[in-house]
């Protein structure tokens, strides 16, 4: 029965249910409420009690005739949904807060760990950032000279704070370097971001060693086996292609060592990757120029923690990377289409067995092995190991190979021009082995001891970069000398200091002397020909010299193309001197008497050269 006066029960119940009350507040009833009204209210279940607290509970009980089934619809579905949304939102906010707190705590713990271990290493007393290093970087100064002073003050290991969370550790002692490079297998994260930004998706040049280990092993096998075919067949073509390009662009009079070395490095790496199709490609010059522009600015834009899409320069750089990818895809298609066996997927000569290239020598180019092996050893599984993966690896190999090879070639050419006696010695070594007018082959180069020694000595004096960089992303490194380097620290080896250390190389450590590699009973050609691994090539019987010769790194992350670089460049230099007379430009003759400061790591001469065809 409806109450005759006082508060209406059911409207009140519905209203309170809408706001989610759990029970009827009987204290609000009027004194005039009859006992029947109280009994009726007591018989009606609480709306809040009828509302399930989970959506699953509501769905199960709403359709199954459970205890909630009669009362939930009466209370109103909207009330339940609002209540459920409010509780879900609160739960998600709490979970997000806990996750952020956990991440921050881990970051703080890692930072404290870095500070604790870093403070134990010798170095300048600066935590936020070393002011001396910052001044050198701002002035564009010589970081090797600055590290040399610090090692003289603090010993073979020096730590520098680049910021509150960035620690740089420089190691100069040869025995510690070997152990460090063996244990520190990762590249810097910035290196991986740089290649990823410039090349796109790729399986090589990844920071983590475990992710790239199988790919490196397969690539090393391919380069070692492929070298004999590529180098012997392409060395003369490379020189002719470079001369034809400079002559067609009317650039012969201004051909300097750096530009000529870059052109030759581009062609030798391109010939190994694409085969002879590179020499007939009309866009080769534009491709080379674009590669150099992308390589120049890649590290700068990759240093941003968040991609700066708002900067016009970054957008222009991304446009250049897109154009580079288009040209790379173009030369890949051209190379594949020119090879009939690949066009019909007849890859019997390039089959993969257990992740390695079974017979890489018979492949037409390095690209053939990448296509047949889907990126060498299946570094990327599934459908992603396709054109995008291959294109990224190709661009990465071009960028890395050109920069390394061009530096070494430029150093050799510069010395050929400035030191005529060296040129005569090299030519005598070449003629003593190969007197015929036919093209050189790799077996001939392996017998040219002085040519090989000249390449190795040039790599010792002027390596590709001043610092060899490594890091350990996950674990601290504890060396035998009880020195612990924290995880995430930037570990560097100042190559100019190590490879010019007078205590190891003698008093003439800073002088160009290829004879130091010509030891009695040591066959450089035999050592290089027998080398098959991815670790450093041991060219010395003395342990100190062997551990201090690091132009291509050492340990598990050493350059897999070190044998390819030494023998390939030796072949190129021998072919150049065998067919051409290398002379300085006449305007440079008056400056030939000026001595070259070999102690200056940064400013080297860049003389212009003239090539004259020999009469054989």
pLDDT in tens, 475-527: 888 888 788 899 889 999 999 899 998 888 988 888 888 988 887 767 777 77
Task: Name residue, tokens 């993969």.
Answer: 352
State the DSSP H helix or E strand holding residue 353, giving kind and residue range, or none if neither: strand 352-353
Quick one: which of 84, 176, 170, 71 has its CA closest to 124?
Answer: 170
581 has which bridge partners? 612
Q: Can you tell me the distance from the alpha carbon of 71 to that of 68, in angstroms, rounded to the nearest whole number?
A: 6
pLDDT at 106 over 90: yes
CB 336 within 8 A of CB 342: yes
State the DSSP H helix or E strand holding residue 462, giving kind and residue range, or none if neither: none
Who's near 416: CB < 8 A, 6+ residues apart?
Answer: 422, 423, 426, 577, 582
pLDDT at 560 over 60: yes
616 — pLDDT class (breaks 50, 70, 90):
low
> Which CATH fold topology does 226-344+385-464+510-547+551-613 show?
Cytochrome p450 (1.10.630)
Return the pLDDT at 526. 73
> Which CATH fold topology does 124-199+466-501 show?
3.30.43
Return the pLDDT at 27. 47
Binding positions are 559
Quick one: which of 589, 573, 541, 552 has its CA closest to 451?
Answer: 573
CB 294 within 8 A of CB 399: yes
Q: What is the pTM of this model?
A: 0.77
End-to-end CA, the chain = 126
Q: Average per-residue pLDDT in the chain?
A: 75
- Output 493 or 253, whichever has higher pLDDT: 493
pLDDT at 132 over 90: no
All CATH 3.30.43.20 domain ranges of the chain, comma separated, are: 124-199+466-501
What is the three-class DSSP state of 494?
Answer: strand
What is the three-class DSSP state of 611?
Answer: strand
Per-residue pLDDT tens for 36-47? 555 545 554 555
Judged by average pLDDT, the poorest of 277-291, 374-388, 425-439 is: 374-388
pLDDT at 50 over 70: no
| pLDDT (average), residues 152-175 | 88
Return the pLDDT at 17. 42
All CATH 1.10.630.10 domain ranges of the chain, comma separated, are: 226-344+385-464+510-547+551-613
Binding positions for heme are 559
């Amino acid at each position: 029965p409806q109450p005759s006066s006082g508060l209406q029960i059911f409207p009140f119940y519905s209203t309170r249910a809408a706001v989610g009350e759990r029970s009827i507040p009987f204290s609000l009833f009027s004194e005039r409420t009859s006992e029947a009204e109280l009994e009726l209210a007591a018989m009606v279940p609480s709306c809040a009690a009828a509302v399930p607290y989970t959506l699953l509970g509501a769905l199960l009980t709403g359709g199954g005739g459970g205890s909630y089934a009669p009362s939930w619809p009466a209370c109103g579905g909207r009330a339940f949904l609002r209540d459920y949304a409010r509780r879900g939102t609160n739960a998600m906010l709490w979970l997000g807060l806990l996750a952020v707190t956990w991440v921050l705590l881990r970051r703080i713990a890692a930072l404290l760990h870095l500070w604790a271990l870093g403070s134990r290493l010798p170095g300048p007393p600066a935590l936020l950032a070393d002011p001396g290093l910052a001044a050198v970087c701002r002035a564009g100064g010589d970081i090797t000279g600055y590290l040399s002073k610090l090692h003289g003050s603090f010993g073979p290991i020096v730590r520098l704070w680049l910021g509150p969370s960035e620690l740089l550790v420089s190691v100069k002692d040869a025995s510690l370097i070997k152990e460090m490079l063996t244990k520190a297998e990762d590249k810097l994260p910035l290196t991986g971001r740089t290649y990823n930004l410039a090349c796109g998706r790729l399986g090589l040049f990844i920071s983590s060693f475990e992710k790239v280990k199988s790919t490196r092993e397969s690539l090393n096998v391919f380069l070692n086996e492929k070298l004999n075919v590529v180098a012997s067949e392409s060395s003369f073509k490379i020189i002719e292609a470079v001369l034809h390009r400079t002559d067609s662009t009317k650039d012969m009079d201004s051909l300097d060592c750096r530009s000529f070395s870059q052109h030759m490095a581009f062609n030798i790496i391109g010939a190994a990757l694409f085969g002879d199709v590179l020499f007939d490609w009309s866009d080769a010059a534009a491709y080379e120029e674009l590669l150099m522009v992308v390589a120049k600015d890649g590290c700068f834009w990759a240093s941003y923690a968040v991609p700066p899409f708002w900067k016009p320069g970054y957008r222009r750089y991304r446009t250049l990377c897109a154009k580079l990818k288009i040209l790379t895809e173009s030369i890949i298609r051209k190379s594949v289409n020119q090879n009939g066996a690949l066009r019909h997927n007849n890859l019997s000569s390039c089959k993969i067995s257990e992740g390695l290239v079974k017979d890489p020598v018979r492949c037409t180019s390095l690209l053939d092995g990448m296509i047949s092996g889907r990126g060498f050893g299946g570094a990327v599984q599934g459908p992603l190991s396709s054109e995008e993966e291959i294109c990224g690896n190709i661009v990465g190999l071009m960028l890395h190979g050109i920069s390394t090879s061009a530096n070494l070639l430029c150093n050799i050419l510069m010395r050929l021009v400035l030191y005529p006696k060296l040129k005569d010695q090299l030519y005598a070594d070449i003629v003593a082995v190969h007197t015929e007018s036919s093209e050189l082959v790799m077996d001939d180069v392996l017998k040219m001891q002085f040519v090989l020694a000249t390449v190795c000595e040039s790599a010792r004096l002027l390596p590709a970069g001043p610092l060899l960089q490594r890091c350990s992303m996950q674990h601290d490194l504890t060396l035998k000398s009880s020195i612990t380097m924290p995880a995430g620290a930037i570990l560097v080896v100042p190559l100019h200091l190590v490879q010019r250390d007078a205590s190891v190389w003698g008093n003439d450590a800073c002088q160009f002397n290829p004879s130091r590699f010509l030891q009695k009973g040591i066959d450089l050609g035999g050592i290089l020909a027998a080398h098959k691994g991815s670790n450093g090539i041991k060219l010395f019987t003395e342990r100190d010299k062997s551990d201090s010769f690091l132009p291509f790194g050492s340990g598990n992350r050493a350059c897999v193309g070190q044998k390819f670089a030494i023998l390939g460049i030796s072949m190129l230099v021998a072919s150049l001197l065998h067919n051409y007379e290398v002379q300085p430009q006449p305007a440079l003759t008056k400056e030939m008497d000026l001595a070259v400061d070999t102690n200056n790591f940064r400013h080297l001469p860049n003389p212009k050269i003239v090539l004259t065809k020999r009469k054989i």
